[in-house]
Structure 1
Amino acid sequence: MIQGFKDFVLRGNVIDLAVAVVIGAAFTLIVNSIVAGLINPLIALIFQADSLNDVTWTVTGLSGNEVVFAFGTILGAIINFLAVAVVVYFVFVYPMNKAKERAAAKAGITEEEASDLPTEQELLLQIRDLLATPGNATRP
């Protein structure tokens, strides 16, 4: 039982997943600080409120009681999502894609040629088939 757990933990997938979670947590802090420090203050200037939670719509009902619709929180969540998506794309994804394109251009591989290359799994299958063909296997 202990050996099985040890094998499970030492597999590359588990370690890769752990690294991804740690990096993701650190990455979340960066993106959230950009949104909280730059995007949210700009939105607060537009709505003239300290936070979007203060943006409400009050309706007086037929019985005289007031109902407050806090649409600012919903609007804030939508804007935060869009702001995070914009920050992630323009600060991280777009520059990485451009860097990959430059590296591929430097290597002399066009995007069309790169899509025509076989995958790792296809190459392994081809190697297996070649080794299984009589006469192709070398004897030690």
Structure 2
Amino acid sequence: ALAAALSGVAVSALPLPALAVESKAELTEILRKDRALLATLPGLLQAQEWEAVRQVLKAPPVNYLWNLGESKNTVKKVGEVTDDASYFDLAEELSGALQLCDQFTYDNVFIPFQPGNGKVKIKEPTEQVTTAIATLDGVLKALS
């Protein structure tokens, strides 16, 4: 029906806006900011500052690493800019670690309200942040 309605209607091809492609240097700078922000998380986890941890994880630029899909992932963009597919695996590893960190942290928010003797998990999200930082350090080293 739509095709019939549009038949005979001239559709002009509108030019698409050019997509901004960050340079390797710009992406490296973003990843350095990510690294600095992630470095604050073990202390926040130890202090049981769950909302502060989740705010770091869910806000730019850190959320680009795991929460907004592959097209926004900064490490994946590095792989595209450098034409090096090994960054795609690192992007997945980093994304998975940050997702687990967020899940463990989120669960801790609700433990006081759950029946039973719920145990706060600090070790598990801290291990995931440590994994994410180590992965990010590897990416930054490769970029230098």
- Would you call these one fold, judging by a TM-score over 0.5? no
Higher RCO, Cα 8 Å, sep 6+: 2
Bigger Rg, which one: 1
Q: TM-score, normalised by structure 2?
A: 0.27
Q: TM-score, normalised by structure 1?
A: 0.28
Higher helix proportion (structure 1 or 2): 1
Higher strand proportion (structure 1 or 2): 1
